[in-house]
């Protein structure tokens, strides 16, 4: 290498400046660590701003019956009991503190009459639970964390004279490789997007907070940043990914007009009275209530409509079923020929609520449709359909510490981590997830650095040179393939063959085509120079999207059942045997290898939160027998205590 590579030395490097990354950085800095935040975009532009509904936390401000146990139960049910129970437990217990903490940073949530944080209903949550600010909660969260970072920088300046003494944001910077020394993180290598200059961070701890993978799909609500960078970095560093077959397709994304295809319509449109209708004008969700939910959802339109004003005495409208059920129902309607030309159905709130109500409750929704599509949601229905929204799968981590299990010093939080949401995420759980585990990742990363003392892993020159060569490859290649065309082909493969409804032969076909693409992507070229060159940036992101797509396709082929965000047409039912299994992806050489691993089983204290009759739908016969013996054992213990 002839180029002088810019070098920085930090205690903790956080990759990703969304909610999880910023929260992690705050915690690492509060623990006294010199911390760098790496952002692919400008500071404050993270994908977190897209979250509209709110942040789920059992504060019980609106319904005092709510508590962490109810929240935990809802989360496990939503994830079809494939969740890492410990993550779901920590999440439910700590979410309220994380939300309240935001108020001390300056956040202004909507209020209840008695001045507390207001909470709204959301699909899959038993009680009103989502702290919100109109429908721009994600923006409030990012701005609050961004301003907290600034306030910490101001404290550092007062103390040391420099804003960046202990906390620095590297905006528009992409990490392309993690550098590992004997199974321990030694550094991170990347380039500045603006100048194209290479940069090396020497650090013993890296927190991945890079978000999701949606840009591998054609119809997606995700921004360009969602290229699976963290997933791919972790894999290449030797860590593993779990649950990669589970992708959430948000049931209500805009399908018309084309310029806004994929953009989400928040679930609160349904929470506030919106209903789904097919082209025949039928409110069809009543036909799609699965047996496991039968007792909790209304059977008639009258009862459903009464629920909005009297939730205690009526059952919920079926429009508020978990997201995968709604997505599947819409898909079925469209396939049955009752969808619109662009492959969607209608979401109608205009005919059910007065215009003032809609404007008050869904201001940015109204604004977005009006400005982007010239559609007035107070007078006409929206045309919506499923859009790729969230990946439940991600880096395999320890529940308490957010540390990866195979590489020391590597942590992951937020969407890039896996396990918390099981096979399907409840709306509102992602914002609280990233606060809870962002904080934990920052805390444990700081602790890990303390534990290392003076003996920090070393970056090897050979690794740096190899990483630099990879980054500069596309620019130096003459006659390489056009990155935009390759990207388009990758999206077509994933959208058509590994989409919302999956089939064995299509998944096999997708693996063949991904293998072809892998060779072609290795030969991708970029024209132009290094100064802010999007073609080059895309060429580098492609290999991440490819490897993550391969994990998804392989795991989807292996899992022969339908559960949450994974629907197999050839295996339409849930299978209790599969509930016990997490599929884990890791690299062997350059190849993705898949292994089955048992899902951690819930201890009796948590199992006791569920009815046996409910568990019977999820557990195998042997597990149920075991459950019964534990319960019997408890009763014996209880009786003894009484005697």
Partner 1 sequence: MGALRRFKVWRGDKAGGQLEDFKVEVNEGEVVLDILHRLQATQTPDLAVRWNCKAGKCGSCSMEVNGMPRLGCMTRMSTFAEDETVTVTPLRTFPVIRDLVTDVSFNYEKARDMPAFAPPSGVAPGEYRMQQVDVERSQEFRKCIECFLCQTTCHVVRDHDENKKAFAGPRYFIRAAELDMHPLDAKTDRKDFAHEQQGLGYCNITKCCTEVCPEHIKITDNAIIPMKERVVDNRYDPLVWLGRKIFRRDQLPAQAPAPHPVVAPRQPPPPRVGTHHIPLGVIWHKPQPDGLEAEVGPDGKMPLTEVTFDRAGAASPFGDNVTFPLPPDSLNYQHPKSDD
Describe the crossing of helices 483-497 and 534-558 by its angle, rounded to 10 degrees: 20
140 binds partner 1 (CB under 8 A): yes
110 binds partner 1 (CB under 8 A): yes
Restricting to residues 447-476, which ones interact with partner 1 according to CB under 8 A?
Answer: none
Spot the catalytic one: 132, 270, 323, 389: 270
State the Cα–Cα distance between residues 315 and 289, nearest whole angstrom: 12
Residue among 6, 9, 32, 42 that touches partner 1 (CB under 8 A): 42
378 binds partner 1 (CB under 8 A): no
Restricting to residues 175-204, which ones interact with partner 1 according to CB under 8 A?
Answer: 194
Residue among 87, 92, 133, 198 that touches partner 1 (CB under 8 A): 133
Closer CB to partner 1, residue 529 or residue 604?
A: 529
Restricting to residues 46-85, which ones interact with partner 1 according to CB under 8 A?
Answer: 46-47, 49-50, 59
Whether 241 and 27 have beta carbons less than 8 Å apart is answered as no
Of 32, 14, 439, which Cα lies nearest the Cα of 207? 14
Whether 287 and 355 have beta carbons less than 8 Å apart is answered as no
Whether 274 and 352 have beta carbons less than 8 Å apart is answered as yes
Restricting to residues 529-558, which ones interact with partner 1 according to CB under 8 A?
Answer: 529, 531-536
Residue 118 Cβ vs partner 1, minimum distance, rounded to whole Å: 8
State the Cα–Cα distance between residues 387 and 485, nearest whole angstrom: 22
State the Cα–Cα distance between residues 399 and 401, nearest whole angstrom: 6
Residue 482 Cβ vs partner 1, minimum distance, rounded to whole Å: 7
Stretch that binds partner 1, among 77-85, 145-153, 332-340, 635-643 (CB under 8 A): 145-153
Residue 437 Cβ vs partner 1, minimum distance, rounded to whole Å: 19
Residue 603 Cβ vs partner 1, minimum distance, rounded to whole Å: 28
250 is catalytic: yes
User: Strands 275-277, 345-348: parallel, antiparallel or unpaired by DSSP?
Assistant: antiparallel
In sequence order, the 6+-apart residues with CB closer than 8 A to the CB of 497 are 506, 507, 509, 510, 513, 553
Restricting to residues 84-103, which ones interact with partner 1 according to CB under 8 A?
Answer: 96-97, 100-101, 103
Residue among 108, 336, 608, 638 that touches partner 1 (CB under 8 A): 108
Query: What is the contact mask toward partner 1 in residues 245 to 264, using x (rule: CB under 8 A)?
Result: -----------xxxxx--x-
Stretch that binds partner 1, among 134-142, 425-433, 507-515, 634-642 (CB under 8 A): 134-142
Residue among 401, 482, 620, 634 that touches partner 1 (CB under 8 A): 482
Site size toward partner 1 (CB under 8 A) is 72
State the Cα–Cα distance between residues 137 and 319, nearest whole angstrom: 22
Residue 523 Cβ vs partner 1, minimum distance, rounded to whole Å: 16
134 binds partner 1 (CB under 8 A): yes
Residue 192 Cβ vs partner 1, minimum distance, rounded to whole Å: 11
Residue 467 Cβ vs partner 1, minimum distance, rounded to whole Å: 22
HEC string for 617-637: CCCCHHHHHHHHHHHHHHHHH
Closer CB to partner 1, residue 368 or residue 552?
A: 368
CB neighbours (10 Å) of residue 367? 14
Q: Which letter, b or e, does each residue of 110-122 get, where b requires 16 or more Cβ atoms within 10 Å of its Cβ?
A: eeeeeeebbbbbb
Stretch that binds partner 1, among 28-36, 66-74, 131-139, 559-567 (CB under 8 A): 131-139
HEC string for 531-560: CCCHHHHHHHHHHHHHHHHHHHHHHHHHCC
Residue among 156, 225, 348, 415 that touches partner 1 (CB under 8 A): 225
Q: What is the CA radius of gyration of the chain?
A: 24
Of 317, 293, 85, 46, which Cα lies nearest the Cα of 172? 46
111 binds partner 1 (CB under 8 A): yes
Q: Hunting for tokens 């907290």 — which residue is that? A: 148
HEC string for 478-504: CCCECHHHHHHHHHHHHHHHCCCEECH
Residue among 93, 105, 290, 504 that touches partner 1 (CB under 8 A): 105
Query: What is the contact mask toward partner 1 in residues 313 to 352, using x (rule: CB under 8 A)?
Result: ----------------------------------------
Q: Is the peptide bond before 321 cis (omega within 30 degrees of 0)?
A: no
Closer CB to partner 1, residue 143 or residue 421?
A: 143
Residue among 115, 182, 453, 479 that touches partner 1 (CB under 8 A): 115
Of 581, 558, 549, 548, which Cα lies nearest the Cα of 234? 548
Closer CB to partner 1, residue 83 or residue 227?
A: 227
Residue among 165, 181, 224, 286 that touches partner 1 (CB under 8 A): 224
270 is catalytic: yes
Whether 411 and 397 have beta carbons less than 8 Å apart is answered as yes
Query: What is the contact mask toward partner 1 in residues 350 to 369, using x (rule: CB under 8 A)?
Result: --------------x--xx-
Residues marked as catalytic: 250, 270
């Amino acid at each position: 290498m002839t180029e002088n590579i810019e070098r920085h030395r930090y205690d903790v490097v956080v990759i990703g400046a969304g909610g999880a990354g910023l929260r992690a950085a705050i915690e690492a800095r509060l623990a006294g660590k010199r911390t760098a935040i790496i952002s692919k975009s400008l500071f404050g532009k993270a994908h977190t701003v897209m979250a509209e509904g709110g942040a789920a936390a059992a504060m019980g401000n609106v319904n005092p019956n709510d508590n962490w146990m109810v929240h935990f139960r809802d989360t496990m049910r939503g994830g079809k009991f494939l969740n890492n129970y410990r993550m779901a437990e920590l999440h439910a217990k700590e979410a309220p503190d994380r939300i309240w903490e935001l108020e001390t940073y300056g956040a202004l949530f909507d209020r209840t009459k008695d001045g507390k944080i207001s909470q709204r209903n959301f699909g899959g949550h038993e009680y009103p639970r989502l702290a919100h600010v109109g429908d721009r909660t994600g923006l409030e969260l990012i701005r609050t964390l961004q301003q907290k970072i600034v306030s910490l920088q101001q404290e550092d300046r007062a103390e040391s004279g420099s804003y960046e003494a202990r906390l620095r944001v590297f905006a528009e910077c992409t990490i392309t490789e993690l550098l590992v020394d004997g199974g321990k993180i030694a550094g991170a290598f990347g380039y500045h997007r603006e100048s194209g200059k290479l940069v090396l961070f020497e650090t013993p701890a890296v927190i991945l907070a890079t978000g999701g993978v949606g840009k591998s799909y054609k119809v997606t609500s995700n921004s360009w940043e969602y290229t699976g960078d963290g997933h791919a970095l972790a894999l290449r560093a030797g860590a593993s990914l779990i649950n990669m077959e589970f992708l959430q397709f948000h049931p209500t994304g805009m399908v018309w007009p084309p310029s806004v295809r994929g953009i989400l319509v928040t679930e609160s449109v349904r929470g506030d009275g919106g209903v789904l209708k097919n082209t025949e004008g039928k409110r069809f969700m009543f036909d799609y209530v699965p047996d496991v939910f039968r007792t909790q959802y209304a059977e008639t339109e009258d009862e459903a409509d009464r629920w909005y004003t009297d939730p205690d005495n009526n059952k919920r409208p079926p429009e508020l079923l978990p997201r995968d059920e709604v997505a599947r129902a819409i898909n079925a309607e469209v396939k049955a020929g009752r969808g619109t030309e662009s492959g969607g159905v209608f979401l109608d709130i205009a005919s059910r609520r007065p215009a003032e109500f809609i404007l008050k409750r869904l201001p940015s929704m109204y604004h977005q449709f009006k400005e982007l599509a010239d559609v007035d949601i107070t007078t006409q229905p929206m045309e919506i359909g499923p859009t790729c929204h969230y990946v439940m799968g991600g880096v395999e981590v320890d529940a308490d510490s957010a540390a990866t299990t195979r590489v020391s010093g590597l942590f992951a939080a937020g969407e890039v981590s896996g396990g918390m949401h099981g096979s399907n995420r409840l709306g509102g759980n992602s914002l609280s997830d990233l606060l809870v585990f962002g904080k934990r990742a920052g805390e444990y990363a700081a602790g890990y650095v303390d534990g290392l003392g003076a003996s920090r892993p070393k970056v090897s020159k050979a690794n740096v040179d190899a990483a630099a060569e990879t980054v500069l490859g596309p620019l130096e290649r003459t006659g390489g393939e056009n990155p935009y065309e390759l990207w388009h082909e990758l999206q077509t493969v994933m959208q058509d063959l590994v989409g919302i409804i999956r089939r064995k032969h299509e998944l096999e076909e997708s693996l063949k085509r991904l293998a072809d693409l892998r060779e072609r992507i290795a030969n991708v070229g970029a024209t132009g120079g290094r100064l802010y060159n999007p073609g080059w940036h895309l060429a580098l992101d492609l290999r991440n999207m490819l490897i993550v797509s391969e994990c998804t396709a392989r795991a989807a082929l292996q899992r022969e059942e339908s559960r949450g965000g994974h629907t197999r047409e050839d295996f339409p039912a849930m299978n209790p045997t599969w509930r016990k299994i997490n599929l884990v992806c890791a690299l062997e050489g350059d190849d993705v290898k898949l292994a089955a691993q048992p899902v951690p089983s819930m201890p009796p204290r948590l199992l006791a939160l569920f009815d046996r009759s409910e568990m019977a739908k999820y557990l195998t016969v042997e597990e149920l027998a075991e459950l019964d013996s534990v319960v019997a054992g408890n009763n014996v213990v209880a009786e003894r205590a009484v005697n």
